[in-house]
Amino acid sequence: MSEICYSDLEQKNDYSAKIMYLDVDEISDFPDHPYHVIEDENLMELSESIKKYGVMVPLIVRLVDNKYQMVAGHRRKAASILAEQYKVPCIIKELSDEDAIITMVDSNIQRENILPSEKAFAYKMRMDAIKRKGGRPRKNNVVPLAHNFQKKTSRQLIGEQVGESQDQVRRYIRLTYLIKPLLDMVDMKKIALRPAVELSYLSSESQEILLEVMAEFDCTPSHAQAIQLRKLEEEQTICLFTIEKILSEQKGNQKEQLKVPVEKIQKYFSPGTSQKTMKKTIMEALEMYYRLKVQERRKK
């Protein structure tokens, strides 16, 4: 493996680090990595950049059981593979599990377009790592690390690092208690953060029932409805009937909708007509029908 000298300035004290070029196959992903690597436009642009200029920022890896484990650089690794560049520059660091988690989270948290689910698991992993470090004394220091944090909570520390309040950090961490289909709906902006937090206090079984009712009624709970559902869970009175009762109540900002099964109108359209075209045609037909009715009334 070739290696060159590199000045790593990530920490307060500058130190000389070595860049080692490793095969991408030698580097395993970080366990339970909370950030998704998606083949989107940004990744393709990064891949094109790597084709032209190579990987400009080295990956950070650590040795675990004599094998290389990724700490920071999952997207760069994926983009390098797309660019057919199978050797990547890496800085090898000696990191404990806790320090590796903190480095991994911190290296990604300032990225744009981070999904709520990514923030949720990243914040939780970082909080748990800080807590584990908190009761452990520093080297040559019998005082636990928690005292060096000036008695700040782990949520406060995370909030300061990512620019969010500790309450907002707490809300995101609550999302980790949602079942995956509900969490996916938060990522897709079908459920807002505040109601999602309330729903996170429901048991997994109650969340599964809620999901079925949401599909049946084709709706999502408002914040007020989610608070009601949480209260029912706490009172142990939540069930299919009570969930249906709450979701059947019209939201304050909800407009009544008329729904017609596609099967009932398909015969009026050519095979393969999209639902969007059907809707447009129906609206145009109704407009024409309305104009004819107005003309008839004027003639009378």
Q: Say what the pLDDT of residue 261 is.
A: 78
| Domain assignment present for 46 | yes
Domain boundary among 70, 95, 120: 95
- Same-domain check for residues 56 and 88: yes
How much is the average pLDDT of 76-81?
90
Residue 255 lies in a domain: no
Query: Burial code of 9-46, b = ≥16 C-beta within 10 A, e = fewer?
Result: eeeeeeeebebbebebeebeebeebbbeeeeeeebeeb
Q: Does residue 112 belong to any structural domain of this protein?
A: yes
Write the secondary structure of 4-42 as one string of H (helix), E (strand) and C (coil). EEEEECCCCCCEEEEEEEEEHHHEECCCCCCCCCCCCHH
In the chain the first and final C-alpha atoms are separated, in Å, by 93
**Last residue of one domain, picked from the residues 45, 78, 95:** 95
Report if residue 285 sits inside a domain. yes
Q: Is residue 191 domain-resident?
A: yes
pLDDT of 137-190, one tens digit each?
A: 444 433 333 334 456 677 777 777 777 788 888 999 999 999 999 999 999 999
pLDDT-based confidence at 6, cuts 50/70/90?
A: very low
Domain membership of residue 253 (yes or no) is no
Give me the CATH number covering residue 78. Answer: 3.90.1530.10
| Domain enclosing residue 283, as ranges | 262-299
115-134, pLDDT tens digit by residue?
899 889 988 988 888 777 76
Domain assignment present for 238 = yes
Q: Cα Rg for the chain, rounded, in angstroms?
A: 27
Alpha carbon separation from 293 to 280, 286, 300 (Å, rounded): 20, 10, 11
What pTM value is reported for the model? 0.66
Average pLDDT, the chain: 81
75, 95, 115: which is the final residue of a domain? 95
Number of domains in the chain: 4
For residue range 220-261, what is the model confidence (pLDDT) as tens digits? 999 999 999 999 999 999 999 999 999 988 665 555 566 777
